[in-house]
């Protein structure tokens, strides 16, 4: 909700209305707005990932190899199943 400057009234603004207004901005201002919004999304994602990483910590030594070997075995099994089912 924001105040309409002319009337000082509280109004609800929809995303569609904001998008229509943004499209009317001069090219340089629109470029700035897009870059700003993208950087905010990226920054919030990086912050969330950092928090998650602190919570779960680093994987135990050998985990990556264990995971890779497990998937290789599973893929071999799936290939065999696929060949025999066709």
Q: How do residues 26-46 score in pLDDT, each as one tens digit?
A: 999 999 988 988 888 888 888
Task: Provide the CB-side half-sphere exposure for 78 (13 A, CA).
Answer: 6
Whether residue 21 is contained in a domain is answered as no
Structural domain harbouring 42: 26-85
Whether residue 62 is contained in a domain is answered as yes
Q: How confident is the model at residue 5 (pLDDT cuts 50, 70, 90)?
A: low
The answer to whether residue 14 scores a pLDDT higher than 70 is: yes
The whole-model pTM stands at: 0.41
Instruction: Yes or no: say if 1 and 11 are a contact pair by the CB < 8 Å rule.
Output: yes
Classify residue 35 as exposed, middle or buried by CB count within 10 Å of its CB (0-12, 13-18, 19+): exposed
Whether residue 80 is contained in a domain is answered as yes
Tally of structural domains, the chain: 1
SS3 label, residue 62:
coil
């Amino acid at each position: 909700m924001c105040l309409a400057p002319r009337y000082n009234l509280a109004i609800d603004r929809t995303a569609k209305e904001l998008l229509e207004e943004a499209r009317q901005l001069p090219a340089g201002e629109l470029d700035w707005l897009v870059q700003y919004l993208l950087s905010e999304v990226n920054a919030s994602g990086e912050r969330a990932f950092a928090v998650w990483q602190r919570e779960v910590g680093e994987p135990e030594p050998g985990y990556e190899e264990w995971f890779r070997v497990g998937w290789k075995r599973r893929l071999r099994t799936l290939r065999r199943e696929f060949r025999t089912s066709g």
